[in-house]
Chain A
Amino acid sequence: MEPKVPAFGRFAEPSLLILVSLSDGPKHGYAIMQDVEHGTGRPMGAGTLYAALARLEEQGLIEPLPPIDRRRPYRLTAVGASNLTEQLRGLSEFAQMGLRQLGETES
């Protein structure tokens, strides 16, 4: 059975951050970096960004749009939106389980 989340190795977290950034509309690389930094408080390097972008594009989770000047926007595909939903749902369930266990420990 294919895993719900493609194996992105050490680029799994940047990939998720990129998918979330693209969930409200297409953006080019620099806008994604700003979005991620604004959302997490941590910068994402250009090397990490493009390693993750290339993997996401290979998996068909995002697709490039025609470039504007030298900037090329990317957008979520249907598969990417579905995959992001699955990942976020899984994270949400995991967080709820952790909070539940924490509550049991504290009480």
Chain B
Amino acid sequence: MRSLLIRCYPARWRDRYGDEFAAILDERQLGPFDVADILLGALDAQLRLRGRGTNIAQGRGLSMSLRIGGIAAIVGAALLAVATFLGYGLVAVDSAIPYVLLFSGLAFLLVALAGLSAFQARVHPGLTWAAFAITAVGTIAGIVGFAAMSVVDGDLAWTVWFLGVLTALVGSALFAIATYRTAALSRGGAVLLGIGSVLPFIGLTGVSVQGLLLAAVTCFLLGWFALGIQAIRLDRPATATRAA
């Protein structure tokens, strides 16, 4: 009787689930409810198995995005923290090292932004991808402008750098809002990231910027750290198997 019921399922389904399904049926006394339920399940499997596979790839892709985004966020924030520390000149190093760390850190944060956006875009796709695009364009423009300043004279390179930084900050603030609203990752991290992205704009009003920028960078990096740690914790399922 049991093997007959299992044979109602498609061969591909039996290859995947047959053994464990048979083990369950062996542990139960089958009544009319069970037989009807299994027959309906077999009918469902027959009807549904066509076109299987794309959804599996989608789910695994999301998990991979989360993992890559989390690691990149932590590495990027760490590199930027070291670059900031060295940039203050407290330790004597080659003057190129802080810049290398700065650009590497920004590259990692762009990867983190892409990974975490892909994970979060299931809920607010428009806001999430707009935040990603604005931040990416701003960051790249900022890097190009900064590199150009060391090669050419004039205001154009500085303007490109300045507008790039402002654009990246706006995008970063939008990403913080998307993260807070999605609530899949740390909301505290999103708040810190948002504060870190908005504080520099207060500097544009003419107030003393030194302490303000330090607070902004601190909040910004702590926000990315928190989001990265939360992403990795989310991607690490429980490992203990409960006994039956």
Contact = CB atoms under 8 A, between A and B. Distances in A.
A46 B34 contact: yes
Contact of B60 (A1, A2, A25, A60): A60
Contacts of B23: 29-30, 69-71
Contact of B123 (A48, A49, A68, A86): A86
Residue of B13, B28, B122 contacting most chain A CB atoms (<10 Å): B122
A61 B237 CA distance: 11
Given A26-B241, A45-B33, A60-B59, A70 B19 contact: yes
Contacts of A61: 59
A46 B55 contact: no
Interface string B57-83: 011111100100000000000000000
B53 to A, nearest CB: 8
| Size bracket of the A interface | 35 or more
Nearest to B126: A1
B38 A33 contact: no
Contact of A45 (B41, B119, B125, B244): B41
Main secondary structure of the interface of B (DSSP, over half): helix
B38 A46 contact: yes
Interface residues of B, number: 51
Given A45-B41, A70-B19, A26 B244 contact: no
Interface string B15-48: 0010111111101100001101111111011001
A25 B241 contact: yes
Contacts of A31: 242-244
Interface in A32-85: 33-34, 43, 45-51, 53-54, 57-61, 63, 65, 67-73, 75-79, 81-82, 85
Nearest to A45: B37
Residue of B17, B41, B56, B58 contacting most chain A CB atoms (<10 Å): B41
Interface of A: 1-2, 4, 24-31, 33-34, 43, 45-51, 53-54, 57-61, 63, 65, 67-73, 75-79, 81-82, 85-86, 89
- List the 3 closest pairs (A to B, CB-CB), nearest first: A60-B59, A47-B41, A45-B37
